Chains A and B, each alone.
Chain A
Amino acid sequence: MKVKFIGGIRYLIGIKEIEVEFGSLDGIFESISKKLGKKINYTLEKETNKSFLILNENGKEMKFSVVIHNNGENILKKEKLENGELSIIMPVGGG
């Protein structure tokens, strides 16, 4: 499946998009990590329903709030992932 990085996350990761094998969300992030040579994980904090990307680089862990859309729908609104496109979006929040 195609994985797109949208917003500031693309500069932290260093690419705009990548192709990986479709699978579970954990499997997809494992594939992304392998291809990029840096550890990237996704975590959903259940009590707040907030989602984060954890990036491990050179022994340093960084955490960013993200939203993930699968084929145009927020994954928090979906029953299960579908093959196609995964957009990892790092929105901005100030006004």
Chain B
Amino acid sequence: MLDISRHIDLYKKLSDKLNNSHIFVAGAGGLGSVVLQNLVRLGFKNIIIYDHKEIDPPDLNRQILYDSKDIGKKKTLVARKKLLKINPLCNIKVFEEKITKNTKFNGKIDLIFDCVDNIETRFILDEFAHRLNIPLIHGAVQEYRGQITVIYPGKTKSLRELFLGYSSPKNPQVLPPTVFITGSLLVSEALKILNKDFENSLINKILFFDIFYNDFEVIKLK
């Protein structure tokens, strides 16, 4: 049972969202691990996870849901087991599937987290968010740098419009703190969006940061 008694004032505005929102997390790797831990520790009740990969040794530097005993196991299954240890009251549905253009997403979804590692899948999530008219919280990481923005159908440009022309690196190097910062900021943006606090959110803005230079900059999009 998640005990929030010491933080009750912070949760007052959130309780309805935590109980009733259905959160879709695409990718249970670096960003996904951080996002998922944050979601269950906040007390979100309904979480859907998509990931088709197994845990590899190089994942352990930043994918904080996993440890050396999990090597070779399915990320979704290990993630669910560990997340339920943190908050047994969560309803966590997992799908061991690669997200493609033909993937059918069924059931109620209120918000999507983009925690995948390539631009092609990101564009599929973008199309899905537009089809369902729900927000997409986008994050990406590489080396010391991260970027975060919120795609909100009808209020913002699509992810495709913003990043058309970009080519993802095949094996980007990533420093763990970059992932932890970005994943936590993604969840913080989701809370604002669920609370309809659009003014303070990254709607029509992109946050770029570089922790090597301590450079954090919010770019306004017109």
* Chain A residues with a Cβ under 8 A of chain B: 6-8, 11, 44, 48-52, 65-69, 71-74, 76-77, 87, 89, 91-95
In the bound complex, do residue B162 and residue A67 qualify as a contact, i.e. CB atoms below 8 Å apart?
A: yes
In the bound complex, do residue A74 and residue B30 qualify as a contact, i.e. CB atoms below 8 Å apart?
A: no
Say how far A95's CB is from chain B's closest CB, in angstroms: 4
**Residue B76, interface by CB 8 Å:** no
Sample of 8 A–B contacts (CB below 8 Å): A8-B145, A49-B164, A49-B165, A51-B165, A91-B163, A93-B119, A93-B167, A94-B168
In the bound complex, do residue A94 and residue B174 qualify as a contact, i.e. CB atoms below 8 Å apart?
A: yes
> When the two chains form the complex, which single residue of A73, A77, A89, A93 contacts B117, counting CB atoms closer than 8 Å?
A93
* Chain B residues with a Cβ under 8 A of chain A: 27, 29-32, 114-119, 139-143, 145-147, 161-169, 172, 174, 208, 210, 213, 217, 219, 221-222
Say how far A93's CB is from chain B's closest CB, in angstroms: 3
**A44: B residues at CB distance < 8 A:** 165
Of B30, B31, B114, B161, chain A has the most CB atoms within 10 Å of the CB of: B161
Query: What's the Cα separation between A89 and B30 when bound, in Å?
Result: 23
In the bound complex, do residue B165 and residue A93 qualify as a contact, i.e. CB atoms below 8 Å apart?
A: no
Query: What's the Cα separation between A52 and B140 when bound, in Å?
Result: 19
Say how far B157's CB is from chain A's closest CB, in angstroms: 8
> When the two chains form the complex, which single residue of A11, A48, A94 contacts B140, counting CB atoms closer than 8 Å?
A94
Of B115, B143, B168, chain A has the most CB atoms within 10 Å of the CB of: B168
Query: What's the Cα separation between A28 and B161 when bound, in Å?
Result: 22
In the bound complex, do residue A93 and residue B222 qualify as a contact, i.e. CB atoms below 8 Å apart?
A: no
In the bound complex, do residue A95 and residue B208 qualify as a contact, i.e. CB atoms below 8 Å apart?
A: no
Say how far A46's CB is from chain B's closest CB, in angstroms: 11
Query: What's the Cα separation between A76 and B160 when bound, in Å?
Result: 11
Say how far A7's CB is from chain B's closest CB, in angstroms: 5
In the bound complex, do residue A67 and residue B31 qualify as a contact, i.e. CB atoms below 8 Å apart?
A: no
- With contacts A77-B161, A94-B169 taken as known, whether A71 is within 8 angstroms of B142 at the C-beta atoms is no
**B161: A residues at CB distance < 8 A:** 73-74, 77
> When the two chains form the complex, which single residue of B142, B164, B219 contacts A93, counting CB atoms closer than 8 Å?
B142
**A48: B residues at CB distance < 8 A:** 167
- With contacts A8-B210, A92-B141, A95-B31 taken as known, whether A50 is within 8 angstroms of B167 at the C-beta atoms is yes
Say how far A45's CB is from chain B's closest CB, in angstroms: 8
Query: What's the Cα separation between A71 and B222 when bound, in Å?
Result: 7
- Name which residue of chain A comes closest to B213, CB basis: A11
Query: What's the Cα separation between A32 and B68 when bound, in Å?
Result: 49
Say how far B166's CB is from chain A's closest CB, in angstroms: 5
